[in-house]
Amino acid sequence: MQQTLKDLERAYKNFFAKRADFPRFKKKGRSDSFCFPQGFKLDQANGRLFLPKLGWLRYHNSRDVLGTVKNITVSLSGGKWYASIQTGREVEQPIPQGGEVGIDMGVARFATLSDGTYYAPLNSFQPNEPALRRAQRSMGRKVKFSNNWKKAKARVQRIHSRIGNARRDFLHKTTTTISKNHAMVCIEDLQVRNMSKSAAGTVEQPGKNVRAKSGLNKSILDQGWSEFRRQLDYKLEGNGGWLVAMPPQYTSQTCPCCGHILSENHQTQAQFLCVKCGFKDNADVVGATNILRAGHARLTGDHKMATNTVGHTEINTCGDTSSGCALGPGTHRSDLVAAQCCV
């Protein structure tokens, strides 16, 4: 009840500050969770926790809990109960490790780094699509809100939970590897909603290649690019690094050797061949290289290298010491970074 009143107070403040709509009652079956701000106990050695009114409960300890426990949130997802433990502790100012890298996102290759490294896509939805189709078809034949309908709905939820868990596991492993080995990461500021719009059109103006575009949209949404960027942002911030989002226009059509921009340079999905100088390379690597150069040029440009102050030593993204303005860790969009640097 205490946490519920806190949430209600925050909701009203957001409403009167015009940051959110008027508070609504929580709908049953959506975001089923409750939080304990006090009265709990944690016994990590024996893998159990004490919750008021529930007593001691066994739990699977996924990792060690560090710091002072502030609250515990219990939630229901996919027919399983989860306990999220929020803690507070002091950490030293991290020093970024590694250099800088650009990342080109795609479907054939999930992420291609400017150094040539790439991560193959997981595509967690594809292997589960037949089972999901059968489960949804079975659910559609049941009488809504009947017991059999609820059982069929639970089967659909379990499949969706399996797909989401596999995708999140893949994204966490990928973003952790990238954030630990690089101090600055430049990525494309992709507008996924626009990229995955339907091509069906209208009755007066029907679309073209609707089936092909539908399959492409399904593959785009299966990658989880927005979640990849979110995880990369906070993990780089935790390691003292930076995430720079750059506009994706012409990154796959620009020659990194001579700077010639032409759509014919990007001949196939995987092949880049400059029609002016003859430079040849993988198209995704070329895109990642151009993204890195654009991010580096925006950070430097006619200004000095933005730096991260660590103690009394200022370390730039290349690892060299220099003088300049302090640039805090985290995401910096392209239209804001230049204004944060000093001459």
pLDDT band at 301 (very low <50, low <70, confident <90, very high): low
Active site residue 233: no
Residue type for position 31: S
Q: Are 32 and 75 in contact (CB under 8 A)?
A: yes
The verdict on residue 214 lying in a domain is yes
Given the residues 100, 104, 233, 314, the one annotated as active site: 104
| 11 & 106 share domain | no
Given the residues 188, 302, 320, 335, the one annotated as active site: 188
Q: Are 139 and 147 in contact (CB under 8 A)?
A: no
Note down the domain range covering 257.
99-117+183-340
Active site residue 284: yes
Q: Has residue 145 got a pLDDT over 70?
A: yes
Distance CA 191, CA 221 (A): 12
Give the model confidence (pLDDT) of 227-269 as tens digits.
Answer: 999 999 999 999 999 999 999 999 989 999 988 898 888 878 8
Residue 217 burial by CB count (10 A; 0-12/13-18/19+): exposed, middle or buried?
Answer: middle
The residue count for the chain: 343
Nearest Cα to 245, choosing from 256, 254, 236, 257? 236
| 307 & 190 share domain | yes
Give the model confidence (pLDDT) of 15-60 as tens digits.
Answer: 999 999 999 988 887 778 999 999 999 999 999 999 999 999 999 9
| 220 & 257 share domain | yes
Given the residues 284, 302, 314, 335, the one annotated as active site: 284
Task: Outline where 77-199 has alpha helix (H).
Answer: 125-141, 147-181, 192-195
Q: Has residue 115 got a pLDDT over 60?
A: yes
pLDDT band at 174 (very low <50, low <70, confident <90, very high): very high
Higher local confidence (pLDDT), 306 or 190: 190
Q: Tell me the average pLDDT across 320-338.
A: 39
This prediction's pTM: 0.81
Active site residue 237: no
Which helix (H) or strand (E) is 210 found in, with range? helix 210-223
Q: Are 325 and 307 in contact (CB under 8 A)?
A: yes
| 104 & 59 share domain | no
| 240 & 326 share domain | yes
pLDDT at 30: 78
| 40 & 105 share domain | no
Mean per-residue pLDDT of the chain = 85
Residue 251 per-residue DSSP state: T
Nearest Cα to 184, choosing from 323, 343, 315, 338? 315
Higher local confidence (pLDDT), 64 or 305: 64
